[in-house]
């Protein structure tokens, strides 16, 4: 594909869906290429089902409507990719922000206009607040609430019907001017795009302000089967749900110089090396990296865990999973986690130990219990255990969805696997995480690794399994896993969710996770 073709397709996507995540744009661009789209004329032959592997139904309908309208424009109907840059110019002329847009777009223009010209009322902020902003300090929570109140009041003067997109644009402006004071950041690490918690506060204030004028009982909007992703065939739905946080979820081509035969040879060599006690780790890493294409193909085709364990034994070893996870997400699994624990772990523990104990009696009881279990033990590994257990208590999520406790002498074949959750789970060989010196990993009720000596390694492998094997976070662990994902594994997609689908609608960033992130950012702490 030439640069001109890439620009042609990417521009066509961006002009209609500018807020689409870059990864989704990549997938959609590849989809259009595979369909054979070469000119604007070709758009009129695309059907909605062609796009459902990359887009939600409403998004697909929106782009189809826009593209087919462009096909009716004389200057685009005869244009081709290689002919001239004309398609780009004509596309700009019917951009949603254009004043000569269609009637459907023109109805959006007042909404867009007020946000584009909206001025943040900095002059109305209290002196104390402006001093904090100008000096790059985080404003006190009460000052931040006052700031939000003033901004929302000004927004509602401009337009009484404020969408979430409006709030996002306003939050972006505020954070861009004073990033040190307003960004979602912990120990120098920006969480997500950095403005989610401010958007959440703006939205909450807007809802509160409108509450007095909104009827208490509203008839719910009727939802049809077409309004959800259930209409997408399972094999296509995976491409939407499982690519969250991934940069190479589904490779289209084999690595240069590789053939199906050479991939098979390398796989067989890895299986042989797995039988050895002194396999060369560097060679294993190289072979795992070179066969990543085949690994992804097999897991995306729905091969079960037992099959993958038999065919790719190193994939379920810490060494092999590190390689696959890095290729899949672009992030070093254990390396990133341990670095972030060093940066943020003490602040989190300090906050949980000093602030949260005063907010919740149940949490205080859990903290006391864990302190007794920990005893005099010290060290980074013990801190991580306490951190994870306290996070589960803070979010009031189920410990047995992450840990299964067995006798310390228990062998893999002796684990009562039918009582273990289907999702990745750490089998703790001992009465508690603190007393255990051996851990196992279960995925899909199969013990895939029976001797993990380190809790940190077990936690990283448990987390990595969700991504490597296309597994959704269980709703019982939704907040804990997303907090670990964002703050300690540095996976921060702007949109989408890794949580299993339930009847409850979910925001792109869990609001409970956002609250903890914001509280941590505001927390004044000292070493204790």
List, for residues 5-51, the tens digit of each pLDDT value.
Answer: 445 788 888 888 887 877 777 778 777 877 778 777 788 888 888 88
CA 212-213-214 angle, to 5 degrees, is 100
Q: What angle do CA 6, 8, 12 make, to 5 degrees?
A: 115
Q: Which residues contact 526 (CB under 8 A, 6 or more apart)?
A: 350
Whether 344 shows a pLDDT value over 70: the answer reads yes
Residue 6: per-residue pLDDT: 46
- Tokens 């959006």 correspond to 108
- Show the CA angle centred on residue 61, arms to residues 58 and 66, nearest 5°: 125
Other Cβ atoms within 10 Å of 19 Cβ, number = 9
Task: Retrieve residue 155's tokens.
Answer: 């927004």
Q: Are 334 and 490 in contact (CB under 8 A)?
A: no
SS3 for 262-310, per residue?
A: HHHHHHHHHHHHCCCCCCCHHHHHHHHHHCHHHHHHHHHCCCCHHHHHH
Once rounded to an integer, what is the mean pLDDT over residues 451-470? 96
User: Is residue 449 very low, low, confident or very high in pLDDT (cuts 50, 70, 90)?
Assistant: very high
Q: What is the mean pLDDT of residues 492-521?
A: 76
Q: What are phi and psi of 428, to 5 degrees?
A: -95, 120
> Which among 163, 57, 62, 72 is positioned nearest to 110, based on CA atoms?
163
Q: Which of 134-138, 240-244, 371-375 has the lowest mean pLDDT?
A: 240-244
- Tell me the C-alpha to C-alpha distance, in Å, between residue 525 and each of 142, 180, 224, 516: 18, 18, 50, 15
pLDDT band at 221 (very low <50, low <70, confident <90, very high): very low
The CA-to-CA distance between both ends of the chain, in Å, stands at 58
In sequence order, the 6+-apart residues with CB closer than 8 A to the CB of 120 are 151, 154, 170, 173, 174, 177
Nearest to 50 by CA among 37, 67, 31: 31
The 10s digit of each residue's pLDDT in 46-92 is 888 888 777 878 888 888 888 878 776 544 444 444 443 444 444 44
Q: Looking up tokens 């010209």, which residue turns up?
A: 117
Averaged pLDDT of the chain: 81
Structure tokens at 47: 């059907």
Could you say which DSSP state residue 497 is in?
-
The pTM of the full predicted model, rounded to 2 decimals, is 0.63
The 8-class DSSP code of residue 487 comes to I
Strands 425-429 and 446-452: unpaired
Most confident of 7-11, 55-59, 157-161, 308-312: 308-312
Average pLDDT of span 405-432: 93
Cβ distance 177 to 125 under 8 Å? no
Dist. CA 203–CA 401, nearest whole Å: 32
């Amino acid at each position: 594909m030439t640069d001109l073709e890439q620009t042609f397709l990417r521009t066509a996507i961006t002009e209609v869906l500018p807020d689409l995540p870059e990864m989704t744009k990549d997938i959609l661009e590849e989809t259009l290429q595979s369909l054979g789209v070469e000119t604007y004329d070709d758009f009129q032959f695309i059907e909605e089902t062609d796009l459902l592997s990359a887009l939600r139904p409403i998004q697909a309908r929106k782009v189809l409507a826009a593209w087919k309208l462009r096909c009716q424009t004389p200057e685009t109907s005869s244009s081709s990719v290689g002919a001239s840059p004309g398609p780009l110019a004509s596309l700009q002329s019917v951009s949603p922000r254009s004043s000569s847009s269609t009637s459907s777009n023109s109805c959006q223009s007042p909404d867009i206009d007020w946000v584009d010209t909206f001025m943040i009322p900095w002059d109305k902020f209290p002196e104390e607040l402006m001093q904090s902003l100008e000096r790059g300090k985080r404003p006190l929570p009460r000052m931040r609430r006052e700031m939000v109140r003033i901004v929302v009041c000004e927004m509602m003067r401009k337009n009484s019907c404020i969408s979430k997109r409006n709030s996002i644009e306003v939050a972006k402006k505020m954070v861009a001017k004073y990033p040190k004071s307003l960004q979602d950041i912990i120990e120098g690490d920006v969480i997500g795009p950095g403005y989610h918690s401010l958007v959440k506060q703006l939205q909450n204030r807007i809802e509160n302000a409108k509450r007095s004028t909104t009827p208490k009982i509203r008839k719910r909007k009727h939802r049809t089967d077409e309004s959800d992703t259930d209409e997408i065939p399972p094999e296509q739905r995976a491409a939407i749900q499982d690519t969250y946080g991934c940069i190479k979820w589904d490779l289209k081509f084999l690595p240069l110089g590789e053939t199906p035969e050479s991939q098979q040879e390398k796989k067989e060599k890895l299986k042989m090396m797995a039988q050895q006690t002194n396999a060369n780790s560097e060679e294993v890493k190289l072979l795992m990296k070179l066969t990543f294409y085949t690994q992804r193909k097999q897991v995306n085709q729905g091969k079960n865990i037992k099959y993958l364990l038999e065919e790719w034994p190193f994939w379920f070893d810490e060494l092999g999973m590190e390689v696959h996870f890095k290729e899949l997400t672009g992030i070093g699994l254990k390396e990133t986690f341990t670095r972030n624990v060093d940066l943020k772990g003490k602040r989190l523990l300090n906050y949980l130990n000093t602030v949260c104990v005063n907010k919740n009696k149940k949490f205080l009881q859990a903290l006391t219990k864990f302190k007794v279990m920990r005893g005099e033990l010290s060290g980074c590994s013990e801190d991580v255990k306490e951190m994870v257990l306290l996070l589960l208590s803070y979010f009031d999520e189920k410990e047995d969805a992450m840990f299964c406790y067995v006798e310390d002498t228990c062998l893999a074949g002796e684990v009562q696997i039918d009582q273990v959750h289907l999702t990745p789970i750490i089998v703790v060989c001992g009465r508690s995480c603190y007393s255990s010196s051996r851990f196992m990993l279960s995925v899909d009720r199969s013990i895939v690794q029976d001797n993990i000596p380190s809790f940190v390694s077990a936690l990283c492998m448990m987390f990595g399994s969700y991504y490597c094997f296309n597994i959704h976070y269980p709703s019982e662990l939704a907040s804990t896993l997303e907090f670990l994902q964002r703050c300690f594994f540095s996976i921060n997609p702007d949109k989408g969710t890794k949580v299993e689908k339930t009847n409850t609608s979910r925001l792109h960033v869990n609001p409970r996770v956002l609250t903890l992130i914001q509280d941590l950012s505001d927390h004044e702490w000292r070493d204790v």
